[in-house]
Structure 1
Amino acid sequence: MREKMERNVRVYKRFRFSQNMLIIGPVLVPYMIFKGLSYSEIMLLQSISAVSVVLFEVPTGSIADRVSRKFSLVISSLIMGIGLSMYIFMKGFAAFAIAEVLFGLGLTFSSGADSAILYESLSRIGRKGEYSNIEAVSMSQIFAGQAAGSVASGFLYSLSPYIPFWISVAMLFLSGIFSLMFVEPPERMKPKQSYLVHVARVFGTAFQKPRVRWAMYFAALMGVMLRATFWLYEPYFKLINLDIAFYGVVFAIFNLVSAFSSRYMVKTMGSVRPRKVLMTMGFMISGAYLLPLLFRGFFSIVLLLPGQLVRGMYTPVMRFYVNNQVEDSFRATKLSIVSLSANLSFSIFSPLIGACLDGIGTVPVYFAMGVIAAVVNLSLLQLRRVHKRKGAVIGGA
Structure 2
Amino acid sequence: MGEERSEQWHLMQRNIVLLFLIRTSHWFFLVMPVIIPFYHACGLSVAEIMTLQAGFSAATLFLEIPSGYFSDVWGRRRTLIVGSLISSVGWAIYCFSSGFWPFLLAEVVMGIGQSFVSGTDSALLYDSLQVLRKEEEYTLYEGRVSSAGNFSEALAGMIGGYLAFVSLYMPFYGQAVVSLVGLFSSFFLTEPPVSLFRYPSFPEVWKVVKDTVFRDKRLSLRIWFSSLVGSATLTMAWMAQSCFLYIHLPMKIWGGAVNLYSILWTLLNLFVGLAALKAYQADRYFGGKNFLC
Q: Which residue of 1 aligns with 2:68?
A: 61
- Structural mapping, 1:1-397, within 5 Å: 1-188=8-195, 189-193=197-201, 195=202, 197-206=203-212, 207-237=214-244, 242-245=249-252, 246-279=260-293
Once the 2 structures are TM-superposed, how far is the Cα of residue 42 of structure 1 from its aligned partner?
1.1
- Report the Cα distance in structure 2 between the residues aligned to 1:275 and 1:84, rounded to whole angstroms: 39
Residues 190 and 224 of structure 1, relative CA distance in 2, 3 Å threshold: same
Once the 2 structures are TM-superposed, how far is the Cα of residue 25 of structure 1 from its aligned partner?
0.5
Identity between Structure 1 and Structure 2 (%): 27
Would the aligned equivalents of 1:74 and 1:180 in 2 still touch at CA under 8 Å?
yes
What is the alpha-carbon root mean square deviation over aligned residues?
A: 1.9
Amino acid at match of 1:205: D
Amino acid at match of 2:264: V
Gaps of 5+ in 1: 280-397
Once the 2 structures are TM-superposed, how far is the Cα of residue 235 of structure 1 from its aligned partner?
5.0
Once the 2 structures are TM-superposed, how far is the Cα of residue 243 of structure 1 from its aligned partner?
3.0
Amino acid at match of 1:200: W
Which TM-score applies when normalising by structure 2? 0.87
Amino acid at match of 1:115: S
Residues 161 and 212 of structure 1, relative CA distance in 2, 3 Å threshold: same
- Report the Cα distance in structure 2 between the residues aligned to 1:238 and 1:22, rounded to whole angstroms: 20
Would the aligned equivalents of 2:60 and 2:115 in 1 still touch at CA under 8 Å?
yes
User: Number of residues paired by the alignment?
Assistant: 277
- Report the Cα distance in structure 2 between the residues aligned to 1:65 and 1:59, rounded to whole angstroms: 10
Once the 2 structures are TM-superposed, how far is the Cα of residue 238 of structure 1 from its aligned partner?
5.6
- Report the Cα distance in structure 2 between the residues aligned to 1:209 and 1:217, rounded to whole angstroms: 12
Would the aligned equivalents of 2:283 and 2:291 in 1 still touch at CA under 8 Å?
yes
Once the 2 structures are TM-superposed, how far is the Cα of residue 92 of structure 1 from its aligned partner?
2.1
Would the aligned equivalents of 1:191 and 1:198 in 2 still touch at CA under 8 Å?
no
Amino acid at match of 1:191: Y
- Report the Cα distance in structure 2 between the residues aligned to 1:104 and 1:227, rounded to whole angstroms: 15
Once the 2 structures are TM-superposed, how far is the Cα of residue 122 of structure 1 from its aligned partner?
0.5
Amino acid at match of 1:62: Y
Would the aligned equivalents of 2:29 and 2:157 in 1 still touch at CA under 8 Å?
no
Gaps of 5+ in 2: 1-7, 253-259
1:101 match: secondary structure: helix
Residues 79 and 217 of structure 1, relative CA distance in 2, 3 Å threshold: same
Once the 2 structures are TM-superposed, how far is the Cα of residue 240 of structure 1 from its aligned partner?
6.3
Which TM-score applies when normalising by structure 1? 0.66
Would the aligned equivalents of 1:35 and 1:91 in 2 still touch at CA under 8 Å?
yes
Would the aligned equivalents of 2:36 and 2:241 in 1 still touch at CA under 8 Å?
no
